[in-house]
Amino acid sequence: MFKLGIWKIEQLRRDNLVRFGMRKRVAIDLYDAAVDKSQDDRNWMQESILRNFGSGNNTFKLTFRDRFAAFDDEVELRLPLILPQGQCNIQAHDVGVSDGRTTCPFFELLQRVYKDQFELLISDYDIEVLSVPVGRGNSRVILDSRANPLQLIMPPFVFSIIRPVTPYYYPVNWLLRVLNQRSAIEEAVQKFHDQSNDIRKIHIVCTECQDLVSAHQNLQIMQYDLLSKPHGSMDIVRAMNLLNPSYFAPPQMKIAIDNLRESLVDGGLLITGSNTGAGTQINGGIYRRTGDSFETLYESGKGSPVTDMLVHACKAA
């Protein structure tokens, strides 16, 4: 009939995440309230917050610590053979990192293989969101940095604007959202344009990743849309849980793959793959740019969900 959300940090408890078999939606602006917790608590809390949070481009920020540790081990075994240390200062880019928790072990992996002879750029479509108070009480609208509305929080409800519930399962949620969404979004977008000072900026980067960025000059973080002009000339580009057919329609997937290829030097490596939860099988691999195409150097599971486009489509284009 209706589904309540988690809209204040005291409600974010392991025993309060699921009700009647359905996961509650968690307000994304609780992300920074979890920062003061112990590392373990912070981890599961932030992972729960990101779990069903949709970005402005209809993808998910879902990520887990140690999500693909075994795959990282395989990459670490092969990287020194495929791209040995000492040839040049290795340029690497990890694309679509969400809050960076899977990038921390990748940075350490590159450190072990290339010592200090590398630079790593990490990026995501968005690395911050804006929490904009609207109406009365504790209601707020979450906007991305481009002013796209993402979430409507109307205690005790948390609605996704990107992926709304159907009236069939939750008619109360559906009705409340339909009645309130438009005026709430208008108010929030107006405040965005007025640069209202009650807007709260929330940096969606995990503490471990922020600490690494502060401590290492060869690690940089930025906002970057894979469908925009590529960042070249990289020796290694990694795109984990990003080249999913559910994220990009075929024409966009082609643009994404073209951009990844163009951002690599000839002979550069694309490390890509997808999985579900932490520690589950990666379908992916290491692919080397050879002119306009890629050749497969190593595959895990069934290989990347877009291997055919990597290896064949570029040739045909």
Ligand X SMILES: C[S@@+](CC[C@H](N)C(=O)[O-])C[C@H]1O[C@@H](n2cnc3c(N)ncnc32)[C@H](O)[C@@H]1O
Q: In the complex, which residues of this chain contact ligand X (CB under 6 A)? A: 55, 57, 59-63, 67, 95-98, 102, 124-126, 224-227, 240-242
Which is nearer to ligand X, 134 or 144 (by Cβ)? 144
* Least distance CB 154 / ligand X (angstroms): 25
* Least distance CB 41 / ligand X (angstroms): 20
Distance CA 143, CA 151 (A): 7
Which is nearer to ligand X, 31 or 224 (by Cβ)? 224
Which is nearer to ligand X, 97 or 269 (by Cβ)? 97
Question: Closest by alpha carbon to 101, among 248, 227, 221?
Answer: 221
Distance CA 103, CA 209 (A): 7
Distance CA 132, CA 178 (A): 19
Distance CA 233, CA 206 (A): 27
- Which helix (H) or strand (E) segment holds residue 40: the answer is helix 39-51
* Least distance CB 284 / ligand X (angstroms): 10
Tokens standing for 234?
């990289």
Residue 116 · residue 194 · CB < 8 Å = no
**Hey, is 237 helix, strand or coil?**
strand
Which is nearer to ligand X, 184 or 209 (by Cβ)? 209
* Least distance CB 241 / ligand X (angstroms): 3
**21, amino acid identity:** G
* Least distance CB 76 / ligand X (angstroms): 17
Distances in Å between the alpha carbon of 117 and those of 87, 195, 215, 235, 312? 9, 42, 16, 12, 33
In the complex, residue closest to ligand X by CB: 96
Q: Measured between alpha carbons, how far apart are the two ends of the chain, in Å?
A: 50
* Contacts of residue 12, Cβ cutoff 8 Å, sequence gap at least 6: 6, 26, 30, 34, 45, 48, 49
Which is nearer to ligand X, 97 or 184 (by Cβ)? 97
* Least distance CB 240 / ligand X (angstroms): 4
Which is nearer to ligand X, 5 or 230 (by Cβ)? 230
Question: Closest by alpha carbon to 221, among 127, 144, 130?
Answer: 127
Which is nearer to ligand X, 139 or 241 (by Cβ)? 241
* Contacts of residue 190, Cβ cutoff 8 Å, sequence gap at least 6: none
* Least distance CB 263 / ligand X (angstroms): 12
